[in-house]
Amino acid sequence: MRLLLQSSRRFFYRHPGQLILALVGIAAGVAVVTGVALMREVLIDALDSATESLSGAESIRIVDPRGPMDETLFIELAMTRGAPPLLPVLSSRLRHGNRMLELLALDPLSLEQGGPVRLTGSATGPLFGQANAALVSQRTLERLDLEVGATLSVRHFGEQLDLEIVNVVAGGRELDDRIIMDLAAAQHLTGRQGELSFIEAPVDARAWLAERLPEELRLIDADQRRESAASLTAGMRANLTAMSLLSLAVGLFVIYSVLAFLLVQRRRTIGMMRAVGVTEGQVRGLLASETLILAGLGALAGLALGTLMASGLLELVRQPVAELYRMVASAGVQPTPLLYVSVWILAVVMALASVFGVLREAQRIPPGQLARTVHEERSGASPIWRWLPVFLLVAGLGLILVTRSLPPVLVGLFIMLSGCALLAPVLGMHLLRMTAALTRSSLVGRAIKMLLSSRQRLAPAVSALSLALALSAGVGMMVLGFRATVDDWVARLINADTYLTVSQGQLDSSSMETLQDWPEVEMLSGSRQVRMDDGSMVVGYDLNPRAWEGFEWLDGDGLAARDRVESGQAVLVTEPMARRDGLSAGDTLELVTPSGTVEFEVAAVYRDYSTDRGMIAMIGSRFRELWNDDQRDSIGLYLGPGVDHEALEQRVSETFPAGHLTTRESVREQTLGVFDRTFRISWALAILVGMIAAIALISALLALGLERAREYATLRALGLSRAGLAGVVLTQTTSLAAIAVLLAVPFSLLIHATLSLAVQPRAFGWSLALSFPLQPLAVLIPLALLIGALAGAYPAWKIAHRDPAPLLRAS
């Protein structure tokens, strides 16, 4: 074994390019998996744990499902005899440039009374000093590129607030992008006087609180909060995991390619070793050891690279998470030894599994085999193996079609992609054979014929490239198709001319009455949302006839539904809600409201992409009655013809000093902006997968060049010029890229259809109209051909400039 290992060490020493490509391939795949795994952890555990970090111990939280709670409740509870230490908190979203921050306003007096949240006296002291004093963690200070004493300008509902960073608070990544302020100061600054977001209490106060809390309030412990945060991002995490595993699979193609080539190079050596008594097991052991060393080292590099990459990837998802789920995630990842060990073992085991075929091939090298053949054996594959790709494709599709939950669909997708990966080289070689037949006597024909005899060696590269291209194009088509659907939905639903919101104070029925009297306003609509414990929303709508036209009905009769909803007897549910709870028109649902549990008929199901947690819509009057809540989050203004918008804005600012008007176009732009930011991570991962596939292709081509060195030398000896030989090699590489592209087209359509029609509905609950935007293919096809040509450029140059004479000397 020592001698065999010595020979492989020397091989890699002589071919550093092969070694580097193998290490880079596996490292890149593992890096993506590591990065995504670290990011996943943030999206589960570190979404909602800032106050927990401050308390240093688990606490329970008192929340009002209707929204912010009245501060008097805290005062009443705190004044009750035997009251546990309580901490009132006001939480609000702030924007600093493009960065989303969370304001956590605490009551320093409660802190000093030994409440559940502990800030040191030296840290909280300065909070009393001035109205705009704020604390941040050291990490946040560095992320904001500020120093203690600096002013931090943020926007709160469009209004600028200038905060002064007075001190640094001790804390981990849970405090990333959190601004800690004095409660009273924050309430004043943000115009939310008398409001609290929640109250923190010690865990052992649960029984005391349960006895005294008003019925409409909820007690939520840390586990429930974590579970809720995790379920919010479940669809997003599933999507990321699928992409990361695919990138690892593409990285494994590189390992396979290198090890398969290594075997070809040492066929003679292994044959001789077998002749002198090396056993099959030792040969297998050698290759397994090489795989272990390569994959192990590559995976280690991948872990390091992935940790570096994770922060970048995290930045891509933090903003969408904040926008979609109203949660500010930690800005940093926290690697754990368990995660590293798990990913490392996964990578090594998968690498060993991927070279199983190579090990079998090595085992079959007969003792004493001296011929250093470059052609491959014609394997008489059994019908089972021959039909395996088709079987996998059909089985994957079948699983996707018959199951209704996400995990089996993802399994089905992987089985289907495995089928595509196995089918790609088979179909690709057929296509090449046809091309060779058509271009028989030309340089192209001869180059392709030479390529055909290396089909087993090239199969992984063809699979990797076609799959990566298909994935990139498929994801791209899904995203663009989805975007067009959302754009269409927004244009339909958002049909008021402008929307009024306020950053301070509130909009209510009297605001609606005031606006209704304005001559510029023809009609109004209003909405008020509350979040339920499970993350779903209940919305109370004040709808006019035009606003009703904005609904797209997916189930139920729209006209009849409108009558029943307006009567207050029925509700509408969004598609994600209907899917998740198995609801359809005519069903009944029970809704827990502050006025008790109420049963409603589901009048209809409508299309909605605003939240994947689902939404129940009812008429505003019924909502106000049940929730005892007269507020409106926004009021839609339907204007008459020829309204002067500047004059209207002026009038709005006079009547509602903290009011803002947002036009329909702005709402559309903002919605699509959120959409684009949400899918940036998908684009980034698709690009990473494409880059790893390019490494796989270059690796295979370099291996091919080394393997066929003698044939190329013969052609040079027979009189093929350097340019001609470079042309042969470039034709071969470009042909490979071309067939990968050709195969990627149907595969990408399949992936697009699966993602749009199966994964999206099951992950997020919404269906998409299937369209086929071809822009991704229009970009990727020339790009892939260019990559093919560029990937072949170096091998072509190297092969063409190699001196043929030494290669032609008899072995």
Partner 1 sequence: MTEAVLNIRNLQRRFGSAHDVQVLADLNLDLVEGERVAVMGASGSGKTTLLHLAAGMDTPDAGEVLIGGRSLSALVEPERTRFRARYIGLVFQDFNLIDSLTVRENIELPLWLNGMTAQSGRIDTLAEELGIAALLQRLPEKLSGGEKQRVAIARALVHRPALLLADEPTGSLDQTTAEGVLRLFDRVTRQHNVTLLMVTHNDEAAALCDRILHLRHGRLSDS
Given 218, 326, 722, 798, the residue binding partner 1 (CB under 8 A): 722
Residue 211 contacts partner 1 per CB under 8 A = no
The answer to whether residues 575 and 765 touch, using CB atoms and an 8 Å cutoff, is: yes
Token pair listed for 585: 């028109």
* Shortest Å, Cβ 789 to partner 1: 22
Least Å from the CB of residue 717 to partner 1 = 6
Q: Which one of the spans 420-428, 566-574, 705-713, 768-776 is the region binding partner 1 (CB under 8 A)?
A: 705-713
* 338 vs 718, beta carbon nearer partner 1: 718
- Build a one-symbol-per-residue string for 439-478: x at contacts with partner 1 by CB under 8 A, - elsewhere: --x----x--xxxxxx------------------------
Minimum separation from the CB atom of position 724 to partner 1 (A): 8
Region from 73-81, 222-230, 575-583, 711-719 binding partner 1, contact rule CB under 8 A = 711-719
C-alpha 535: how far from chain center: 19
Is residue 791 a contact point for partner 1 (CB under 8 A)? Answer: no
Q: How far is the CB of 575 from partner 1 (least distance, A)?
A: 56
Binding flag, residue 709, partner 1 (CB under 8 A): no
Binding of residue 710 to partner 1 (CB under 8 A): yes
Task: Look at strands 615-619 and 659-663 and give their pairing.
Answer: unpaired
Q: DSSP letters of 152-167?
A: EEEEETTEEEEEEEEE
Two tokens, residue 257: 């390619």
* Burial class of 239 by CB neighbour count within 10 A (0 to 12, 13 to 18, 19+): buried
Mapped onto helix, strand or coil, the DSSP state of residue 538 is strand
* Binding range to partner 1, per CB under 8 A, among 461-469, 567-575, 777-785, 803-811: 803-811
- CA–CA dist 644, 539 (Å, integer): 31
Residue 718 sits in the site that holds partner 1 (CB under 8 A) = yes
Min dist CB 729 to partner 1, Å, is: 14
* Token reading at 736: 């490979």
Size of the site for partner 1 (CB under 8 A): 32
Query: Pairing between strand 498-502 and 659-663?
Result: antiparallel
Mask of contacts with partner 1, 371-410, x by CB under 8 A? --xxx-----------------------------------
Please name the amino acid found at residue 489: W
Query: Which CB sits closer to partner 1, 352 or 443?
Result: 443
Find tokens 């947690």 and name the residue.
613
Q: What is the DSSP string of 486-551?
A: HHHHHHHH--SSEEEEESSS-B-HHHHHHHHT-TTEEEEEEEEEEE-TTS-EEEEEE--HHHHHT-
From residue 723 to residue 762, what is the string marking binding to partner 1 with x (rule CB under 8 A)? xx--------------------------------------
Nearer to partner 1, 654 or 803 (CB): 803
Q: Name the region of 191 (left: φ>0; alpha: ψ -120 to 50; beta: rest).
A: left
Minimum Å distance from CB 691 to partner 1? 31
716 near partner 1, judged by CB under 8 A: yes
Among 125, 191, 711, 797, contact with partner 1 (rule: CB under 8 A): 711
Q: Does 509 bind partner 1 (CB under 8 A)?
A: no
| Member of 295, 720, 740, 799 binding partner 1 (CB under 8 A) | 720
Cβ atoms of 770 and 481 closer than 8 Å: yes
In the bound complex, what is the minimum distance in angstroms from residue 10's beta carbon to partner 1? 19
Residue 692, amino acid:
I
Residues in CB range of 296: below 8 A, 6 or more apart? 344, 348
Least distance to partner 1, CB of residue 453, Å: 3
Decide whether 268 or 651 has the Cβ nearer to partner 1.
Answer: 268
Strand blocks (E) in 570-710: 570-574, 588-593, 596-606, 615-619, 634-639, 659-663
Note whether 706 binds partner 1 by CB under 8 A: no
3-class DSSP assignment, residue 111: helix
**CB 705, min distance to partner 1, A:** 15
**Rg of the chain in Å (alpha carbons):** 32
Looking at residue 712, the DSSP 8-state letter turns out to be H
Of 721, 775, 778, 782, which lies in the binding site for partner 1, with binding defined by CB under 8 A? 721
Looking at beta carbons only, is 483 or 710 nearer to partner 1? 710
- Of 135-143, 482-490, 498-506, 721-729, the window that binds partner 1 (rule: CB under 8 A) is 721-729
Answer whether 166's CB lies under 8 Å from 126's CB: yes
Query: How far apart are alpha carbons 341 and 361 in whole angstroms?
Result: 30
Shortest CB 257 distance to partner 1, Å: 19
The long-range contacts involving 435-442, CB below 8 angstroms and separated by at least 24 positions, are: 435/735
Residues constituting the chain: 811
Residue at token pair 């596996």: 26
The answer to whether the CB of 656 falls within 8 A of the CB of 500 is yes
Query: Phi/psi of residue 108, each to 5°?
Result: -60, -30
Asked whether 697 and 459 are in contact (CB, 8 A), the reply is no
Rounded to 5°, the CA angle 705-706-707 comes to 95
**Least Å from the CB of residue 458 to partner 1:** 12
Min separation Cβ 792 and partner 1, Å: 17
* Residue of 189, 236, 652, 715 that binds partner 1 (CB under 8 A): 715
Which of residues 335, 408, 594, 804 is near partner 1 by CB under 8 A?
804
Residue 810 Cβ vs partner 1, minimum distance, rounded to whole Å: 4
Residues forming the site for partner 1 (CB under 8 A): 373-375, 441, 446, 449-454, 710-711, 713-724, 803-805, 808-811
